[in-house]
Structure formats: structure tokens, C-alpha cells
Amino acid sequence: MEKNQISGLMKGLIYISQALILLGAFFKILHYAYGNMILMIGFLSITVLSSIEINRLRKTVKKLKEELNDL
């Protein structure tokens, strides 16, 4: 996959995780079933996705620093 496709996929997955957090919060406020579970899935997925994105950005920064040092 290209960088743009990966970035788009990551954005989409992060948006879905954020939607799960909101949905879980609404379910908890309204005392519907599975509100806790939806909320926890949203928080866990956003944590995993954020750590993946941070590692990806670290690699990009490292590559840019190497390119600057080569100049």
C-alpha cells in the first residue's frame, strides 16, 4: 500500500473508534445494554491505533532527519 492509502485507512479506523466511544457513552447515559463493552472497545482500539500511528510518525521523522544530515 502507498503512504496515502495507509494514512487514509488509519484516519478511517480512528474515526470509527471515536464513533464507538461516542456511541458507548450514549448507551451508558441512556442505560442501554452493552454500553460499557462498546466504550471499552472504542478506547482500546483508539489506544492501539494511536500507538501504531506514533510509531509510523517516528519512522518518518527519523528518515527526514537522516535526509537532512546527508545534505
Sign of CA dihedral 11, 13, 17, 20: positive
What pLDDT, on the 0 to 100 scale, is given for residue 18? 96
Question: What residues does each domain of the chain span?
Answer: 3-70
CB atoms inside a 10 Å sphere around CB 18: 13
The whole-model pTM stands at: 0.82
Residues 6 or more apart whose CB falls under 8 angstroms from that of 29 comprise 35
pLDDT tens for 25-42 read 999 999 999 999 999 999
What pLDDT, on the 0 to 100 scale, is given for residue 1? 73
Parts of the chain with a pLDDT under 50: none
